[in-house]
Structure 1
Amino acid sequence: MSFTSLGLASSLQKALAKQSYTEAYPIQKEAIPAILNKKDVLGIAKTGSGKTASYVLPILTNLQGGSISKNRHIKTLVLVPTRELAAQVLEVFQQFSSALSDPIKCLAVHGGVSINPQMKAMQNVDILVATPGRLLELVDSNAVHLTEIEALVLDEADKMLNMGFQDEMNRIFALLPKKRQNMLFSATLSKNVEDVNQVLLKNPQVIKIESEVDTIDLIDQLAYSVAEEKKGPLLRYLIKHNNLKQVLVFTSSAHRADAVAYKLSKNGIQATSTHSKKSQGARTENLRKFKTGKLRVLVATDLLTRGIDIEFLPYVVNYDLPRSPKDYIHRIGRTGRAESPGEAIAFVTKDDEHHFKVIQKKMKKRINLIDTKEIDTKGY
């Protein structure tokens, strides 16, 4: 279905066409008309399915020509679980808001940085993207008011609930006007999400797009049987020998990520690490460089398994296997997204073999183990 038939503002349609976005993704085809009609929406779709644009575009359309909001009284609130997702969602809002004849002021607020600049920036903001904790700090400081909100979005609701934001979210809900439009987007329909749905949404349009397990056929999966001490040389061999670029490598810990990135850099492969122990500025800059192709390898912990949209990412490497099959699927789901093919590589030690069989059973997909004994990794 073409974007031109969905009822969006003409300036947004032109902006989409200019960026060669012509056909809407499944989540967008259903969510955009519903949101334009001010209906509540429950959208279940994996990260990378076009979910963010499915609410950004109609929200901007609905705000066009509306009344001017009072200072520090926002009209739209988007709640997200992480700083990275807040920055990403803001980027999409700003990208399309700039195309409007009367641009709408958008802002993202989150922890990990000073609150004072965020308090000052709240002047005349209509759309606020926020993590729950920082939002409540701003409310307590009278830097923002939630009494005139017309639309509420919960993005990655399942992750927010799993990360223990329930109490903070309940506090926020109590501050909102009863009459408003609610949109809840989640990768999975867990019991927690279902409970919030019952409380929050009124006769919602339910949109469920195929799960990550159903779409992993877009991903070409390879697995290498490798001794623990040979993982580093094998990774460097694969990157150099196959000339891999834009490679996202997952490790089991922050210390491990730093060590792998250090060895890659020492061997002439441009790489850096990102994890919760890095400053927010460093994480944002590293991700920006990686997304724009200025950084060849980004080594990460599970911080990046959800909520980060890296479009057309060609390679994901599981340097260390995650603890659960679900986490494995989320990791490799960073590639093979939005109908673009990708390659996922797993390193499997002798101790990992049983666990890797469990992962394959969960995916309903068999992956042959490639023996690395014949691969000459000397010098790598």
Structure 2
Amino acid sequence: MSFTSLGLSPFILKALALENYSQPYPIQKEAIPVILKNKDVLGIAKTGSGKTASYVLPILNNLKSTKTLKNRHVKVLVLVPTRELAMQVEDVFNTFALALPERVKTMAIFGGVSINPQMMGMNGVSILIATPGRLIELEESNAVSISEIDTLVLDEADKMLNLGFKEEMDRIFALLPKKRQNLLFSATLSKEVENIKELLLNNPEVIKIEEREDDIELIDQIAYTVEESRKGPLLRYLIKKDNLKQVLVFVSSAFKADSVANKLCRNGIHAVSTHGKKSMNSRSESLRRFKTGKIRVLVTTDLLARGIDIEFLPYVINYELPRSPKDYVHRIGRTGRAESPGEAISFITPEDEHHFKIIQKKMKKEVRVVDSADFDMQGC
């Protein structure tokens, strides 16, 4: 099936072709026709399955037919749990909005940065992507009105509830018009998500994309045993030997991220570190440049292990193992996404060996282990 059979306008189809979107992913195939008909949707699909485009495309398609609202009265509200996801969703909207015959202004708002530029930027906004707390602040300041929206999207609803946003979400729901389209997307169907479904959705179409047990098979996993003192040379050796590009390296601390990135740079490999101690602007710019291939290696903490959509990422390296098997799966899950293969590499010191056996047991998959002791890493 191609996108042409889903009912999207020629403008959207042209944009899809320019962005090299050829075949819709399962969540897109199921959700887009239903959303185009203005029905409510509950979509259950894991991160990396293409769900952002599954609501962005039909929303933009339908937007041209909606009524014009007063200034600072938005038409579409997308609630998300994190700043990173807000910016990611904004990027997807902006990418496809450029194809529309009429200008559509999209804006992402979130905490952790000054509120004044966001207040001033609200003029003419049609699509607002927001974290709950900052949206409430702007609404209380009369900088934005959500009382006449046409469409509400809750993206990663399970994560919003897990992060304790229920009270803020309830306050936001009370401000919305009764008549609207509701789109609820979540990676899991928890009891809390079920409760929100009953509260918000009107006779919804339920779309559940089952996670195939062999999804992890898309990831080629390999581990190298290595002494702690030889990790740096091994990392540089692998990157240079196989000419690896677009490599995401995970470490355990901000200090280690800076150290590893600096050593890579000193050895002629373009690398940048990003972590919670960096400014929001710095993190955003690093991620943008990495996604576009302008940074060869991005070294990070678990800050980026969840919720960041980097499609077609070829390499993930665990320079240091995470504490839990669940975090290990989240890390390597940055690659092998949306049906694209990828490679996950882990460095295993003698102290890590028992922990790595536990990770493999929990993952129900044995990882090929290679001894790096005999590698000729001279000059690395």
Contact 1:212/1:329 (8 A) holds in 2:
no
1:296-338 CA-partner distances (Å, limit 9, x unpaired): 1001112212222222211001112222222222211111122
Using a 3 Å threshold, how does the CA distance of structure 1 residues 348 and 293 change in structure 2: closer, same or farther? same
Q: What SS class does the counterpart of residue 152 from structure 2 fall into?
A: strand
Q: Determine the C-alpha separation between the residues in 1 that align with 2:110 and 2:307.
A: 15
Aligned partner of 2:57 in structure 1 is 57
How many angstroms does 1:59 deviate by? 0.7
> What's the CA shift string for 1:214-250, capped at 9, x where partnerless?
4111111111122333222211221122211110011
**Can you list the C-alpha shifts for 1:122-146, whole angstroms capped at 9, x where unaligned?**
1121110111121111111110011
- How much identity, in percent, do the aligned residues show? 69
Q: Sort the Cα spacing of 1:113 and 1:338 in 2 relative to 1 into closer, same or farther, 3 A.
A: same
How much has 1:213 moved relative to structure 2? Answer: 5.5
1:63-212 aligned within 5 A: 63-211=63-211
* Structure 1, unpaired ranges of 5+: none
Q: Contact 1:69–1:124 at 8 Å: present in 2 too?
A: no
* Alignment partners' CA distance in 2, 1:154 and 1:235: 40
What secondary structure sits across from 1:182 in the alignment?
strand
Question: Is contact 1:112-1:279 (8 Å) kept?
Answer: no
Give, as a single letter, the amino acid of the residue that structure 2 aligns with 1:215: D
State the partner residue of 1:35. 35
Q: Which residue of 1 aligns with 2:219?
A: 219
Q: Is the 8 A contact 1:212 1:333 kept in 2?
A: no
Match of 1:299 in 2: 299
Which string of whole-angstrom CA distances, capped at 9 and with x for unpartnered residues, describes residues 40-85 of structure 1? 2121222222111100011111211221011111111111122221
| Residue in structure 1 matched with residue 362 of structure 2 by the alignment | 362
TM-score normalised over the length of structure 1: 0.95
Partner residue, 1:6: 6
Q: Give the aligned residue type for 1:16.
A: L
2:352 alignment partner in structure 1: 352
Aligned to 1:246: 246
Q: How many residues align?
A: 380
Over the residues paired in the alignment, what is the CA RMSD in angstroms? 1.7
Distance (whole Å) between structure 2 residues aligned to residue 153 and residue 354 of structure 1 = 44
CA 1:163/1:377 → structure 2, altered by over 3 Å: closer, same or farther? Answer: farther
What SS does structure 2 have at the residue aligned with 1:261? helix
Equivalent in the alignment of 1:263: 263
5+ residue gaps, structure 2, are: none
Write the distance in 2 (CA, Å) between the matches of 1:165 and 1:87. 19
Q: CA contact under 8 A between 1:75 and 1:149: conserved in structure 2? A: yes
Which deviates further from its counterpart, 185-194 or 300-309?
A: 185-194
Letter paired with 2:206: V
Equivalent position SS for 1:345: strand
CA distance in 2: counterparts of 1:195 and 1:34, whole angstroms: 22
After superposition, what is the alpha-carbon deviation per residue over 1:129-164, rounded to whole angstroms, capped at 9, x for unaligned? 111121111111110011111211111222222222
Distance 2:251 2:194 in 1: 32
Partners of 1:41 and 1:184 within 8 A in 2: yes
Q: Report if aligned partners of 1:41, 1:201 keep a CA contact under 8 Å in 2.
A: yes
* 1:208–1:363 Cα change, 3 Å: farther
User: Structure 1 CA distance, aligned partners of 2:231 and 2:183?
Assistant: 44
Aligned equivalents of 2:144, 2:84: Cα separation in 1: 22
| In 2, Cα distance between equivalents of 1:326 and 1:247 | 21
Match in the other structure for 2:284: 284
Number of the residue aligned with 1:373: 373
What corresponds to 1:329 in structure 2? Answer: 329
- Corresponding position of 1:24: 24
Cα distance in 2 for partners of 1:189, 1:227 equals: 43
| Secondary structure at 1:175 match in 2 | coil
- Counterpart for residue 46 of structure 1: 46
Counterpart amino acid of residue 340 in structure 2: S
Distance 1:154-1:48 versus aligned 2 partners, 3 A rule? same
Cα 1:347–1:93 change in 2 (3 A) is same
* In structure 2, distance between residues paired with 1:61 and 1:316: 36
Shift in Å, 1:201:
2.4
Partners of 1:167 and 1:337 lie apart in 2 by 33
* Aligned counterpart, 2:309: 309
**Which amino acid counterpart does residue 366 of structure 1 have in structure 2?**
E
